[in-house]
Structure 1
Amino acid sequence: MTVKTINVMDIMNVNFYSLWLAEQSHIVAKGGRSSMKSSVISLKLVVDFLEDNLGNVVCLRKVGKYLSTSIYEQIKWAIYMLGVEDEFYFGKSPLLIRHKATNTAFYFYGVDDPMKIKSAKIAKGYVMALWFEEAAEFAGVEDIDIVEDTFIRQEIEGKEVKVYFSYNPPRNPYSWINEWLDTKAGDPDYFIHHSTYLDDKKGFLSEQMIRKIEKYKENDEDYWRWMYAGEVIGLGDMVYNMDHFHEIEELPKDDDLILIDIAIDTGHQVSATTFLAFGFTKKRNVILLDTFYYSPENKVVKKAPSELSRDLKEWMDKIQQTYKRHFDMQTIDSAEGALRNQFFKDYGIRLHPVVKKKKIDMIDNVQDLLAQGRFFVLKKATNEIFLTEHKKYQWDADTLQSDDPKVIKIDDHTCDAFQYYVQDNLRKLGLKY
């Protein structure tokens, strides 16, 4: 079986030649965002696949729901780049890309539960390669081992299963994958490759993309070093760089509000409740318009959910009357049922429970927005508590040397609500890649 005449070396940057030619069984491709490492791996997998009539490739991500819009499309892109799309059937249910002539395929699995992979069946032939895309998302080396052992236990005469890992290194040096990689330095079975967008000497990246990346560098060089240079920069003590919280006296004249989003963190009896109103503008900037903050501390009689429900509705009505814009997303902590149910009972409005991620991941999303210079705070008395809490927001020093660092859970209610807002609006904010 042959690939249409094309020189693959012409469609990748020179820095990837060594990865392409690496003979080790395990290939680790780490680096910054937009370094094109996933593109090169997908091309390599398709070329090798077409040279083996019995070979199959298994492509994996930690969360199964992301397969169809990420690694599946990446393999599909490589097939089209090589001009062999007519040789393949592209299936969505089940998710696979099958070669019409050989009946071998690219299989796609989520590893939400690694043990379920043990029952995976390959229709014909053997597994010649595995690809762990966004490998840092996996829970730990145990996830990797369970999956890898499932597919490499079959003896393949004259060859070994190739295992590929691609990921952007977490900034925490104690993240499991950073520590795991340290153990592989010098291992003869592992080829470790690092790449960044700066290695693009052939001009594959658009000028628009380069400008965007350079804006990150201008606004927050530490964030750029992590996200685009792929460096493990550490966490530091303070969570946020307050230079990115731009205070403004009034709404900009040249950047109209399009809509308003609400984010809610509740505490009821033991801690504070906060409502945040965020304006989203034509230029895709975010402006904190107003903050509601109620603390039950030192109060003999605490507010009940029915009272907070009324407070929320009155506050929302005031926001809408002031800014004359419709509400879009109205987000609340997914663990909060009392206020959500009370508000629907009182006003027939369903608040949207956010799908929370690990704390460090939600913070990373907020930092992405901040590093782009797109966040502003309207200077007013009600918003001072928001700035005060974010100034004091710190990592717990006792957890920094761990794979799961924690924040200090004191006076962090507006911090949580801000994270819920960003998490629930990733696509609208242009933060979902």
Structure 2
Amino acid sequence: MKIKNNRIKLPDVVGKGYGTFWRWKGRYRVCKGSRASKKSKTTALWYIVNIVKYKDANLLVIRKTFRTLKDSCFTELKWAVNRLGCQEFWDIKESPLEMTYKPTGQKIYFRGLDDPLKVTSITVEHGYLCWCWIEEAYEISSENDFNMLDESIRGAIPAETGLFKQITLTFNPWNEHHWIKARFFDNPDSETLAMTTNYMCNEWLDDADKKVFETMKQQNPRRYRVAGLGEWGIVDGLIYENWEEKAFDINEIRTISSVRSAFGLDFGYTNDPTALFCGLIDTHSKTIWVFDEIYQRGMSNEKIAEEVIKAGYSKEKIRADHEPKSIDRLYDLGLTHIREARKGRDSINSGIDYIQDFHIIIHPRCVNFITEISNYTWDTDRKTGKKINKPIDDFNHLMDAMRYALEDFSNSSAFSFD
């Protein structure tokens, strides 16, 4: 294939703030950053540029669950191809999810840790599998899962290729107790670049974008430190400690005669996501199983209905946040079992008290639920610094949706979904 040379000036395309990141060739390149810090877009640009540069390189892109890849890394890499003006040289497929550099046959593969066999069985057709990008690496709660990925990027590469093996991790640093901090940030070795970036290195933010962070700084300093400055989140005073992440067979759980389904919906749009909690509850064994979720910003009522119906939950009884107009619209769109949650005095704390008596088992696919429950804490009095009997107004979208879903059980022991 004849290649037409398109000359571009990389600093004009990529921007500043990532010089060391761009040049690093050590084994591990780890970047924690705030929202809008360009970390994912810069990483996507780096891979497209360097796959073209290194003719034998192939890339494996990983997230904890495969279903989250299309709207994240896959979209970012397509954006990078377009920004670099090289669309004609790439074959981009959605089924299977894959990108191929046409002049050489180099590939970008996409895999989820929910199907580990597909991760460990990749055989490249051209060159070597030498690079791995783990996006939202915070979602990977088990260091052993990372070790499996690390071991998959093995094997000799001829020196004349100029290639190097490298794993890149990008993530938001919600929890200082995460294994990533201890492994890469607390005591990095010579093969590790561990860096922090934030929105202030993103020269393409407009005044409205910057205003979001300034408002966050004033109204929610705790979130600003993490989502604004990229600092590690300090998790103290967790509300729920009665949970574990464990795979389970939902059909097997449903055979238990005392198990009932429970669905809850919390509305969001621009800054907050719309969140659907999908669970099973057994009031006899005091167990809650969390088996699925919908978690997305910018969803209209039409899009909410579409996603719920597509997921197969249109006939489920859904308790939703207090938005009568939205509930009526969703009813008209086919969610005929949706009802408004019964809010009252102390409903939040009462719901929390009820849930704290249960053991919560969370399926690994519910990555947003795991992120929220591991960061949902009691608030702090700004004057005294002491914990107060009120949850933080953060990491609470699926937590609220869970309360709505379970309120009928907490309010009436005789209620069932039969």
Establish whether TM, by shorter chain, passes 0.5.
Answer: yes
Look up the equivalent residue of 1:128 and give its one-letter code.
Answer: C
Q: How far off its partner does 1:88 sit?
A: 0.8
CA distance in 2, matches of 1:11, 1:161: 25
Cα contact 1:2–1:50 (8 A) shared by 2: no
Distance 1:75 1:325, change over 3 A: closer
Tell me the equivalent position of 2:174.
170
CA distance in 2, matches of 1:85, 1:389: 55
Distance 1:92 1:323, change over 3 A: closer
**Residue 70 in 1 paired to residue 31 in 2?**
no
CA distance in 2, matches of 1:324, 1:74: 31
Q: How far off its partner does 1:87 sit?
A: 0.6
How big is each residue's C-alpha offset from its partner over 1:78-117, in whole Å with a ceiling of 9 and x where there is no partner?
Answer: 1111111101111111111111121111111112133431
Task: Report which stretch shifted further, 149-158 or 217-226.
Answer: 149-158
Residues 26-41 of structure 1: matches in 2 within 5 Å?
26-41=28-43
Q: How far off its partner does 1:74 sit?
A: 0.9
Cα contact 1:28–1:193 (8 A) shared by 2: yes
Cα contact 1:238–1:395 (8 A) shared by 2: no
Residues 421-432 of structure 1: matches in 2 within 5 Å?
none
Tell me the equivalent position of 1:108.
110
Tell me the equivalent position of 1:365.
none
CA distance in 1, matches of 2:346, 2:144: 43
Distance 1:238 1:167, change over 3 A: closer
Distance 1:87 1:383, change over 3 A: same
Among 160, 165, 170, the alignment partner of 2:164 is: 160
Cα contact 1:25–1:189 (8 A) shared by 2: yes
Q: How far off its partner does 1:133 sit?
A: 1.0
Among 178, 182, 192, the alignment partner of 1:179 is: 182
Q: How far off its partner does 1:37 sit?
A: 0.8
Q: How far off its partner does 1:147 sit?
A: 1.7
**Residue 216 in 1 paired to residue 219 in 2?**
no
Tell me the equivalent position of 1:258.
none
Residues 16-95 of structure 1: matches in 2 within 5 Å?
16-95=18-97
Cα contact 1:239–1:393 (8 A) shared by 2: no
Distance 1:114 1:416, change over 3 A: closer
Distance 1:7 1:142, change over 3 A: same
* Rg larger for: 1
Q: How far off its partner does 1:262 sit?
A: 11
Q: How far off its partner does 1:31 sit?
A: 1.2
Look up the equivalent residue of 2:168 and give its one-letter code.
Answer: Y
How big is each residue's C-alpha offset from its partner over 1:341-400, in whole Å with a ceiling of 9 and x where there is no partner?
Answer: xxxxxxx96569xxxxxxxxxxxxxxxxxxxxxxxxx9x9x611314437979999xxxx
Computed over aligned residues only, the root mean square deviation of the Cα atoms, in angstroms, reads: 4.6
Residues 263-342 of structure 1: matches in 2 within 5 Å?
326=328, 328=330
Cα contact 2:62–2:134 (8 A) shared by 1: yes
Tell me the equivalent position of 1:198.
200
Cα contact 2:352–2:403 (8 A) shared by 1: no
Look up the equivalent residue of 2:32 and give its one-letter code.
Answer: K
CA distance in 2, matches of 1:175, 1:99: 36
- Name the SS for the 1:28 alignment partner: strand
Cα contact 1:59–1:130 (8 A) shared by 2: yes
Tell me the equivalent position of 1:418.
400
Q: How far off its partner does 1:22 sit?
A: 2.0
Look up the equivalent residue of 2:184 and give its one-letter code.
Answer: L
Cα contact 2:30–2:193 (8 A) shared by 1: yes
TM-score (norm 2): 0.61
CA distance in 2, matches of 1:223, 1:82: 34
- Name the SS for the 1:205 alignment partner: coil
What stretches of structure 1 move > 4 A for 4+ residues in a row?
A: 261-271, 322-325, 348-352, 390-396, 403-408, 414-417
Q: How far off its partner does 1:18 sit?
A: 1.7
- Name the SS for the 1:69 alignment partner: helix
Look up the equivalent residue of 1:383 and give its one-letter code.
Answer: G
CA distance in 2, matches of 1:53, 1:75: 18
Matched positions, count? 308
Cα contact 2:174–2:375 (8 A) shared by 1: no
- Name the SS for the 1:89 alignment partner: strand
Distance 1:156 1:184, change over 3 A: farther
Cα contact 2:327–2:338 (8 A) shared by 1: no
Distance 1:229 1:101, change over 3 A: same
How big is each residue's C-alpha offset from its partner over 1:138-188, in whole Å with a ceiling of 9 and x where there is no partner?
Answer: 1322112212212322434343212211111122x2122222224542x00
Percent of aligned positions with the same letter in both sequences?
Answer: 19
CA distance in 2, matches of 1:39, 1:134: 13
Residues 121-160 of structure 1: matches in 2 within 5 Å?
121-158=123-160, 159-160=163-164
Q: How far off its partner does 1:421 sit?
A: 7.2
TM-score (norm 1): 0.59
Tell me the equivalent position of 2:345.
384
Distance 1:73 1:238, change over 3 A: closer
